[in-house]
């Protein structure tokens, strides 16, 4: 029942976008769906769980270089600030956090072109190095 699920998700998005006080919402056309460019990770995953769109790969626990990237981690990680660029320089690069957390929109900007709608072009690992100092 992918069609029903899609309709439900679109409806939820519309309710969300029209929601009172949601001043930060920035709807963009995303493959025929109006999606908030600042959608939370669970809004992204509502479609990107393989139901409406291809499943996103990410890591919530026991993350390492062997797993997909972690999300819902504080930026910069407490005690390891020296290995990460200052939040101010992320903003300049076009990278967003949700509160202090790394989420989908930290690496993806739905307003940017395909493939992958990356927040920062990742040639020569520029996206990674916008946060990680190496």
Q: Where do contacts with ligand HEC occur on this chain (CB under 6 A)?
A: 9, 13, 30-31, 33, 35, 39, 41, 43-48, 52-54, 56, 58-59, 63-65, 69-71, 73, 75, 77, 95, 102, 104-108, 110, 114-118, 122, 127-128, 130-132
Please list, residue by residue across 28-44, b when 16 or more beta carbons sit within 10 angstroms of its beta carbon and e when fewer do. bebeebebbbbbebebb
Q: Compute the Cα dihedral for 78, 83, 88, 93 and give only its sign.
A: negative
Phi, psi of 3 (to 5 degrees): -60, -45
| Closest CB to ligand HEC among residues 23, 133 | 133
Nearer to ligand HEC, 20 or 134 (CB): 134
Question: Least separation, in Å, of the C-beta of 20 and ligand HEC?
Answer: 20
CB of 51 to ligand HEC, least distance (A): 9
Tally the C-alpha atoms within 13 A of residue 80's C-alpha that lie toward its C-beta: 10
Q: Is the CB of residue 110 less than 8 Å from the CB of residue 37? A: yes
Q: Which is nearer to ligand HEC, 24 or 114 (CB)?
A: 114
């Amino acid at each position: 029942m992918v069609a029903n699920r899609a309709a439900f998700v679109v409806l939820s998005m519309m309710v969300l976008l029209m929601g009172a006080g949601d001043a930060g919402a920035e709807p963009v056309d995303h493959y025929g769906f109006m999606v908030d460019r600042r959608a939370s990770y669970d809004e992204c995953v509502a479609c990107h769980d393989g139901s409406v769109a291809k499943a996103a790969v990410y890591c919530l626990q026991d993350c390492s270089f062997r797993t997909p990237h972690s999300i819902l981690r504080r930026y910069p990680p407490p005690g390891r600030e020296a290995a990460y660029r200052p939040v101010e320089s992320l903003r300049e690069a076009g990278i967003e956090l949700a509160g202090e957390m790394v989420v989908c929109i930290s690496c993806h900007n739905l307003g940017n072109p395909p493939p992958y709608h990356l927040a920062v072009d990742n040639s020569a690992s520029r996206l990674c190095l916008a946060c990680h100092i190496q």
